[in-house]
């Protein structure tokens, strides 16, 4: 049972309870935040497209861009200039491919985005997955030039693989950027052909038709990126909006505000803010809201405490909401009840603590197949815990999502599967992806390499 508190609450500063949802709406500049990932076959033009897009939005200063242009001309790869906006390290430039997930921020009229540029090179699939695992929406870039779309779409291409990965990792909203249409003179029939083939496929793997839009554009010429194209070859048949306007229409993960409080603790230490008593706790609010004077619960452990003071972005605040990073002073709580990876919750709706759960995963490029008993390090937010694959339930078809094998003996590279995972040492706070996107995503690593990633389907045991 939970510890009860007989101490009076007189020490808690009585604060006027605010309607956090209302305050949140009023907060200046509080545009909803989304994580956006860019996926697609290698050479589809992802880097050029997003580099040009950020440049056109004014996110890259003229001087930097001029330097990019000079540098890229020097090595005879002029068109790479835009791609370099995203790739910052020299090694990547020499090889002409995007290696790391470079993150960039940009704002549209109504939303604020963190762009995670996912590389398309085969070797870098793990990076792409960690970017995708945090994404609220995706842009799938396809090369519409002759034969190129087919190369990316058919066997061996990454277009389908990336689309399924995104879907498996919980991405529901998609813009398909039909790129390089300059190479086919903005031919409507080609656009329609790519749209029809890809559209049918995306619906088949579980995207809702209404959540997928197709935008014709050219990352190189910049046509239809941040303003509606005016070239007659395109306007004669395309009546839709530009990429920027479509991005602005992505639905933010706003409903998280109405959900129970979940704050991942990233740091904690003795003593409150401003050398007062209590315990300082820092972290990111994944869902819900919190305010001064409120009662909270620490999970695991179930210890109850109270919020005495808080800071959001290093400024004193009386409340905070999903998306905020905060530092707060908790009182009537023993620091011994805090641990790495613990979660601050609403006492009436605490996060489940489990030692066994079912997940749907995508297996990466591994050499040794995954069999029952396979040991892993389970990554969940800031937490890394020893765990092992307990049971292999079924293998799903990579393209259709249908069950193709029950009780498989092993899982190999590239498979999508349902499995059970058991924690080796202690149960951890975890939620299903359905209940909480942020707390429902996991990664499995072994010997320092990511071997799989996915979402939590079901919590199988509660408590220890
Ligand atoms: P990524 O591997 O998907 O990031 O692709 P890049 O952005 O590196 O582009 C691959 C190649 O396609 C480069 O040579 C680009 O210059 C070229 N490219 C990219 N976008 C376009 C486009 O819209 N039109 C044309 N004609 N070429 C493009």
Of 125-129, 216-220, 288-292, 449-453, the one with minimum mean pLDDT is: 125-129
Please state which of the ranges 19-33, 41-55, 352-366, 413-427 shows the lowest mean pLDDT: 19-33
pLDDT at residue 102 above 50?
A: no
Backbone angles phi, psi at 288, to 5 degrees: 80, -170
Q: What pLDDT does residue 118 have? A: 47
User: 22-31, 70-79, 233-242, 344-353: which range is least confident on average?
Assistant: 70-79
- Position 12 scores a pLDDT of 43
184 lines ligand 1 (CB under 6 A): no
- Does ipTM come in above 0.95? yes
| Cα–Cα distance measured from residue 377 to residue 56, given in angstroms and rounded to the nearest whole number | 42
Cβ of 219 closer than 6 Å to ligand 1, yes or no, is: yes
Residue 218 CB–ligand 1 contact under 6 Å: yes
Average pLDDT over residues 211-240: 95
Question: From ligand 1's centre to the CA of 242, what distance in Å?
Answer: 19
Higher-confidence residue of 199 and 11: namely 199
Residue 282 near ligand 1, beta carbon < 6 Å: no
Residue 259 Cβ contacting ligand 1 at under 6 Å: no
The residue ranking higher by pLDDT, 363 or 3, is: 363
* Pocket lining: 182 vs ligand 1, CB cutoff 6 Å: yes
* Of 159, 155, 218, 128, nearest in space to 41 by CA: 159
Q: Is 98 in the pocket of ligand 1 (CB under 6 A)?
A: yes
Average pLDDT over residues 436-454: 83
Q: Is 180 in the pocket of ligand 1 (CB under 6 A)?
A: yes
Measured in angstroms, how far is the CA atom of residue 179 from the centroid of ligand 1?
A: 9
Could you tell me the distance, in angstroms and rounded to a whole number, from the CA of residue 46 to the centre of ligand 1? 7
C-alpha to C-alpha distance for 158 and 396, rounded to whole angstroms: 18
CA gap 97, 120 in Å, rounded: 9
pLDDT of residue 132: 65
Tokens of residue 355, six digits: 């030692």
Band of residue 5 on the pLDDT scale cut at 50, 70, 90: very low
**Distance, CA 405 to ligand 1 centroid (Å)?**
39
DSSP count for the chain of H helices, then E strands: 11, 24
- How much is the average pLDDT of 291-296? 95
Does residue 94 surpass a pLDDT of 50? Answer: no
Per-residue confidence (pLDDT) for residue 34, from 0 to 100: 85
Q: How far is the centre of ligand 1, averaged over its atoms, from the C-alpha of 283 (Å)?
A: 39
Q: Is 44 in the pocket of ligand 1 (CB under 6 A)?
A: yes
From ligand 1's centre to the CA of 148, what distance in Å? 11
Q: Which residues contact 288 (CB under 8 A, 6 or more apart)?
A: 256, 257, 258, 259, 260, 261, 262, 321, 322, 346
Alpha-carbon distance of 360 to 416, in angstroms, equals 7
Q: Is 81 in the pocket of ligand 1 (CB under 6 A)?
A: no
Residue of 37, 39, 40, 48 to mutate, ligand 1, most atoms within 8 A of C-beta? 48
Over range 208-213, report the average pLDDT: 94
Mean pLDDT of 393-401: 81
Q: Is the CB of 45 under 6 A from ligand 1?
A: yes
Q: Which pLDDT value is given to residue 286?
A: 86
| Ligand 1 pocket check for 120: Cβ under 6 Å | yes
Asked if residue 60 has pLDDT above 90, the reply is no
Residue 68: pLDDT above 80?
no
Q: Ligand 1 center to residue 115 CA distance, Å?
A: 18
Mean pLDDT computed over 123-128 = 49
Counting atoms of ligand 1 from 1, which one is nearest the CA of 40? 3
Residue 389 has pLDDT above 60, yes or no: yes
pLDDT digit string (tens) for 142-168?
999 999 999 888 876 778 878 877 887
pLDDT score recorded for residue 123? 42
Q: Which of 40-49, 272-281, 327-336 has the highest mean pLDDT?
A: 327-336
Say how far apart CA 230 and CA 274 lie, in whole Å: 58
Q: Over the chain, what is the mean pLDDT?
A: 82
Query: Binning pLDDT at 50, 70 and 90, where does residue 352 land?
Result: very high
The Cα 421–Cα 39 span in angstroms is: 28
Give residue 133's pLDDT band: very low, low, confident or very high (50, 70, 90). Answer: low
**Range in 108-112, 249-253, 419-423 the model is least confident about:** 249-253
The lowest-confidence range among 142-146, 172-176, 339-343 is 339-343
**Cα angle at 271 between 270 and 277, to 5 degrees?**
130
Tell which wins on pLDDT, 313 or 422: 422
Instruction: Give this prediction's pTM.
Output: 0.67
Rounded to an integer, the average pLDDT of 174-187 is 96
Whether 237 shows a pLDDT value over 60: the answer reads yes
For the Cβ of 220 lying below 6 angstroms from any atom of ligand 1, the answer is yes
Note the pLDDT of residue 7.
Answer: 42
Name the residue of 38, 41, 43, 233 whose CB sits within 8 Å of the most ligand 1 atoms, as the mutation to test its pocket.
43
């Amino acid at each position: 049972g939970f510890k009860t508190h007989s101490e009076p609450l007189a020490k808690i500063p009585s604060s006027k309870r605010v309607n956090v949802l209302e305050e949140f709406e009023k907060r200046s500049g509080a545009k909803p935040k989304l994580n956006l990932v860019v996926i697609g076959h290698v050479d589809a033009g992802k880097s050029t497209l997003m580099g040009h897009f950020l440049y056109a939005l004014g996110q890259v200063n003229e001087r930097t861009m001029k330097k990019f242009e000079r540098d890229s001309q020097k090595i005879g790869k002029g068109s790479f200039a835009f791609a370099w906006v995203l790739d910052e390290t020299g090694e990547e430039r020499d090889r002409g491919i995007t290696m790391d997930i470079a993150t960039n921020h940009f704002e549209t009229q109504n939303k604020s985005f963190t762009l995670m540029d996912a590389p398309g090179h085969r070797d870098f699939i793990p990076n792409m997955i960690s970017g995708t695992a945090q994404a609220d929406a995706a842009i799938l870039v396809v090369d519409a030039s002759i034969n190129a779309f087919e190369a990316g779409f058919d066997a061996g291409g990454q277009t389908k693989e990336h689309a399924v990965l995104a879907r498996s990792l919980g991405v529901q909203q998609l813009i398909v950027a039909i790129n390089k249409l300059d190479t086919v003179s903005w031919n409507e029939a080609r656009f329609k052909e790519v749209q029809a083939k890809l559209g049918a496929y995306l619906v088949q793997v579980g995207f809702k038709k209404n959540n997928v839009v197709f935008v014709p554009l050219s990352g190189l010429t910049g046509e239809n990126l941040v303003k509606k194209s005016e070239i007659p070859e395109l306007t004669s048949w395309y009546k839709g909006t530009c990429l920027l306007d479509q991005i602005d229409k992505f639905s933010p993960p706003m409903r998280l505000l109405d959900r129970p409080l979940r704050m991942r603790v990233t740091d904690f230490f003795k003593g409150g803010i401003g050398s007062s008593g209590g315990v300082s706790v820092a972290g990111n609010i994944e869902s819900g809201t919190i305010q001064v004077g409120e009662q909270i619960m620490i999970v695991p452990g179930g210890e109850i405490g109270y919020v005495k003071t808080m800071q959001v972005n290093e400024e004193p605040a009386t409340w905070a909401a999903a998306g905020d990073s905060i530092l707060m002073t908790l009182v009537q709580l023993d620091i011994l009840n805090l641990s790495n990876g613990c979660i601050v919750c609403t006492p009436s709706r605490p996060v489940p603590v489990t030692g066994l759960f079912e997940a749907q995963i995508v297996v990466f490029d591994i050499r040794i197949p995954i069999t029952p008993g396979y040991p892993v390090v389970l990554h969940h937010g800031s937490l890394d815990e020893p765990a092992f694959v307990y049971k292999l339930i079924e293998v799903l078809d990579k393209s259709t999502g249908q069950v193709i094998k029950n009780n498989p003996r092993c899982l190999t590279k590239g498979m999508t599967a349902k499995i059970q995972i058991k924690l080796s040492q202690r149960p951890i706070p975890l939620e299903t992806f359905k209940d909480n996107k942020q707390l429902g995503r996991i990664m499995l690593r072994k010997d320092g390499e990511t071997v799989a990633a996915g979402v939590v389907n079901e919590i199988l045991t509660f408590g220890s």
